[in-house]
Each structure stands twice: as structure tokens, then as C-alpha cells.
Amino acid sequence: MKRQTAIDYFGSIPKLAQALKITYEAVRQWGDEVPELRQYQLEKLTDGALKAGQESRPQSVA
């Protein structure tokens, strides 16, 4: 999953970081791809709107 896809879903880096209970700086260090374990965490947090291991463009919650 692309980092930008997750950011777009949550609306901003701070909101994404808050949802994952991590820092803004941690999200900034990811590069283009969300780390694999974070992808699974995001899939669970979004009830499958974001899928681990694939690139998709879900509708934003914002």
C-alpha cells in the first residue's frame, strides 16, 4: 500500500499517525510504501477499506 493512499484516507499525516498511535515523524520515515505490519494494522482499523499488500484508492472518511 502506498503511503499517500493511507494519508488520503485519513486526510493528513497527523490524523494517520494518531490513528496508528505513532508519531508524525514515524510516518514521514516510511518512504513511498507503508511498512507491511502497518498495512495490516490499517486494514483492520479501516474495516478493510485499505487493503494490505495492494494499491487501492478507497473513499476518504473526511
Tens digit of each residue's pLDDT (9 = 90 or more) over 6-42: 999 999 999 999 999 999 999 999 999 999 999 999 9
User: Is 34 inside any structural domain?
Assistant: yes
Residue 46 near residue 9, CB atoms below 8 Å: yes
Tens of pLDDT along 36-56?
999 999 999 999 999 999 765
Angle at 35 between CA 20 and CA 50, to 5 degrees: 65
- Residue 58, phi-psi category: left (phi > 0), alpha (psi -120 to 50), beta (remainder): beta
User: Is 10 inside any structural domain?
Assistant: yes
Residues pairing with 33 in the sheet: 2
Predicted pLDDT at 12: 98
CA-based torsion, 2, 5, 40, 13: positive or negative: positive
Count structural domains, the chain. Answer: 1
Predicted pLDDT at 58: 56
Average per-residue pLDDT for the chain: 92
Instruction: Name the pTM for this structure.
Output: 0.83
User: Is 54 inside any structural domain?
Assistant: no
